[in-house]
Chain A
Amino acid sequence: MSSETRTDGNFEAGLSGASQKVAVFEERKGGLKRLQEWLHMTPSAVPMIVLLVAVAVFGLLSPNFFKAITISTILQQIAIVGILGCAQSLVILTAGIDLSVGAIAVFSSVLMGQITFRYGVPAPASILLGLGLGTLMGAANGWLVARVKLPPFIVTLGTWQIILAANYIFSANETIRSSAIAENAPALQFWGNSIEPGGVKVLYAVFLLIALVAILAYVLRHTAWGRHVYAVGDDPDAAELAGVRTGRVLIQVYALAGLFCAVAGWVMIGRFGSVSPSASTGQMGNIQAITAVVIGGISLFGGRGSIVGMFFGAMIVGVFEMGLKMVGTDPQWTFFLIGLLIILAVAVDQWIRKASA
């Protein structure tokens, strides 16, 4: 049955004398191409440039803009959105989205307050409980996404409503007054404390935000877990085959996002003084956080961007709000411009992706 002549023959004989180079490309690098490649390597550069330009423009338009007090006010205002943005960044890096961040933050703050005042638990213990419960809410999101395999948008759209409703039901829509908290449980308001070097007030919450961003930047860049978060967002199937336990990473990411939201809830008590189940963060928090993330250059398709970019994104929103207020325009211009920035940021993201093509 064997031995026809083997036909593999010498079809590769033509290779002798051919060039031995493998897949060398002619590189034609114009300035624009180089810019694109540089942005591909350093995704937080775009928001940083936008931020610097915005600061420069507002500085020219309003002489009061370059004052330490302005910077500290802006930082104060972005503290909560920035922390929610940390949570949102993690989730979006895995190509997910978390619409429940604001709801988890508000419910956690209500839990901390009510556990202290209704059940008489010492404030530090109820804070720990609140952080733990927030983490659990996030983990529930993660479990639904990773194990039940539902789309993150649907899961968190559902839990957003559920958590916000639970928040109203549990609190019976009661607000805990600021003075009562200051008297009985000052630990709840810890992040509202400030230092005042040279008369400029800087909230502890601002330091917390900066610390969280720094820690996350380190974790995402310099630990295996951080690389896995990117890999899961980039191509989950490839990550799984390459040996990443994608389900576990997803649950951890959503749980950690829940923890960050609970921290934001704690910061809210310090910032606003009181504990209110109807705080606007519950409705607006997720949109603000997503805005910061998108303007910060993190790709909604996952796997690209940096947490530092998110911080710049939150700063940009703060600078616009503050700057336009100081210039004295209609505040609607803020939203007008931020809307433009969002679209621009995503357009730039798409363009940068083509660097690889």
Chain B
Amino acid sequence: MDQKGIGMTQEPILKARGLVKRYGKVTALDRCDFDLMPGEILAVIGDNGAGKSSLIKALSGAVQPDAGEITLEGRRAQFASPLDARAQGIECVYQTLAMSPALSIADNMFMGRELRKPGIMGRWFRQLDRPAMEQFARDKLSELGLMTIQNINQAVETLSGGQRQGVAVARAAAFGSKVVILDEPTAALGVKESRRVLELIKDVRARGIPIILISHNMPHVFEVADRIHIHRLGRRLCVIRPDEYSMSDAVAFMTGAKLPDGVEEAA
């Protein structure tokens, strides 16, 4: 195992080299590298304040790194905004879910990429194609079998926490053509709802879309991940395979209690 990671037989679909992000005096990302292989589930774990969120935000366009480069499918990519990253096929489910509570499920699923009616009503009067949007939202939700929602026009704030999470995951899965990023998708959920979300994650991978999963939940990480990226002090400490290491090893690595072979602690 080396610091560059393992399983590099093919080109990563999403790659980052030397990312730096500073907030005032705090360095959140310190020359951080990152690789996501096609079709895999890559878990990102790390202690609080290790810079996981900053890494994810840089990859999804929510923050712009001060230095370093990101390549998507071998091409240099620059994400000026989440909209930009989305346009290039990277979808993110944020921990906060990024949903407008007072708006409907359909409105939320299509926020920022609404469908317009064909013809004059759409082109000149910019009218939304509500029926098409509702049909699509309903299809996606039932396809994922995640929940039973009677009314697609119901406001998101009237849903339970698990249902909201489900809508957010469904949104990402429906539109993410290249990469889906999930930030703590099971943190707010009960055991049964977590199970559904994990199944959902596997479903998405089965469709060939690679997933980045950020989680503190070691059993979940070790169950679904193909590789685990361990983040420490603003950079990638190592990448391990879940079948080669135990959960306690992983925890030891990410807290600095133990060093993986061949890695020296950065000063």
B82 contacts which chain A residues (CB < 8 A)? 240-243
Q: Is the CB of B100 within 8 A of A230?
A: yes
Q: Is the CB of A234 within 8 A of B102?
A: yes
Tell me if A1 is interfacial: C-beta within 8 Å of chain B.
Answer: yes
Instruction: Give the nearest-CB partner of A25 in chain B.
Output: B160
Q: Is the CB of B116 within 8 A of A8?
A: no
Tell me if A223 is interfacial: C-beta within 8 Å of chain B.
Answer: yes
Tell me if A208 is interfacial: C-beta within 8 Å of chain B.
Answer: no
Q: Is the CB of A4 within 8 A of B126?
A: no
B101 contacts which chain A residues (CB < 8 A)? 234-235, 303, 356
Instruction: Give the nearest-CB partner of A5 in chain B.
Output: B246
Q: Is the CB of A1 within 8 A of B261?
A: yes
Q: A231-B111, A234-B103 are in contact. Are A241 and B98 (CB under 8 A)?
A: yes
In the complex, which residues 1-30 of chain A have their Cβ closer than 8 Å to any Cβ of chain B?
Answer: 1-9, 11-12, 15, 18, 20, 22-23, 25
A9 contacts which chain B residues (CB < 8 A)? 219
Q: Is the CB of B191 within 8 A of A23?
A: no
Q: Is the CB of A15 within 8 A of B195?
A: yes
Q: Is the CB of B247 within 8 A of A7?
A: yes
Q: Is the CB of A304 within 8 A of B246?
A: no
Cα–Cα distance between A7 and B158 once the two chains are bound (Å)? 37
Total interface residues in chain B, CB < 8 Å: 54
Q: A2-B245, A8-B247, A238-B97 are in contact. Are A304 and B191 (CB under 8 A)?
A: no
**Interface 0/1 of A34-74, CB less than 8 Å to B:** 00000010000000000000000000000000000000000
Tell me if A148 is interfacial: C-beta within 8 Å of chain B.
Answer: no
Interface contacts (Cβ under 8 Å), in number, total 130
Partner of A303, one of B62, B102, B193: B102
Cα–Cα distance between A234 and B157 once the two chains are bound (Å)? 11
Tell me if A166 is interfacial: C-beta within 8 Å of chain B.
Answer: no
Q: Is the CB of A303 within 8 A of B100?
A: yes
Q: Is the CB of A304 within 8 A of B111?
A: no
Tell me if B78 is interfacial: C-beta within 8 Å of chain A.
Answer: no
Instruction: Give the nearest-CB partner of A242 in chain B.
Output: B111
A5 contacts which chain B residues (CB < 8 A)? 246
Partner of A15, one of B130, B162, B163, B192: B192
Q: Is the CB of A2 within 8 A of B244?
A: yes
6 contacts between A and B (CB under 8 A): A2-B245, A7-B248, A8-B222, A9-B219, A227-B128, A239-B111
Residues of B whose CB lies within 8 Å of any CB of A are 62, 81-83, 86, 92, 94, 96-103, 107-108, 111-114, 116, 125-128, 130, 146-147, 155, 157-158, 160-163, 190-193, 195-196, 218-219, 222-223, 244-249, 260-261
Residues of A whose CB lies within 8 Å of any CB of B are 1-9, 11-12, 15, 18, 20, 22-23, 25, 40, 218, 222-225, 227-228, 230-231, 234-235, 237-245, 303-304, 355-356
